[in-house]
Amino acid sequence: MAQLGQAQSGSLRSTPKQLNVKASDRYALMFKNYGNNHNAPFIWSGSATVVSGTTVAVLASGIKFYDMELATYGNFVATAKSDPGDDYWINQDESSNVVKLVVGSAVADDVVFNVQVMLGAEVDISIYNTRGAGAPSQSYP
């Protein structure tokens, strides 16, 4: 019984890592609290406007959180609030750390886009276990 009260070591651990996640009372923003007054935003949203007669709106330029450049580690979702008239996409220029919203052709009227950002490296979700055993599967209810 000498092991009572001790955490397991190796590949099985009895206590998962805990992370303090906070949300802003005023803004569409969630951030991780790493302790010692170090906070990093990881999910936020806003809007961007592609001005009439143009095809590009700059979403971010030169933004970096704890050595994570937004153009490299940001995942973006943009949704048009009105018809942009053509295809649109996010252009992440990692060499200059600039993120742009690009529309295929010049818009007739100002088009507002809702933009959501999640900061973090891309993951392969198939390697994570669910319900304690096995990879993610649609067979679970």
How many angstroms separate the Cα of 27 from the Cα of each of 20, 45, 99? Answer: 18, 9, 21
What is the number of domains present in the chain?
1
6-10, 23-27, 130-134: range with highest mean pLDDT = 23-27
In-domain check, residue 16? no
- pLDDT digit string, tens, across residues 82-138: 989 889 999 999 999 999 999 999 998 999 999 999 988 887 777 765 555 555 555
In-domain check, residue 99? yes
Which amino acid does the sequence have at 45? S
- Structural domain including 114 reads 45-122
Instruction: State pTM to two decimals.
Output: 0.72
In-domain check, residue 3? no
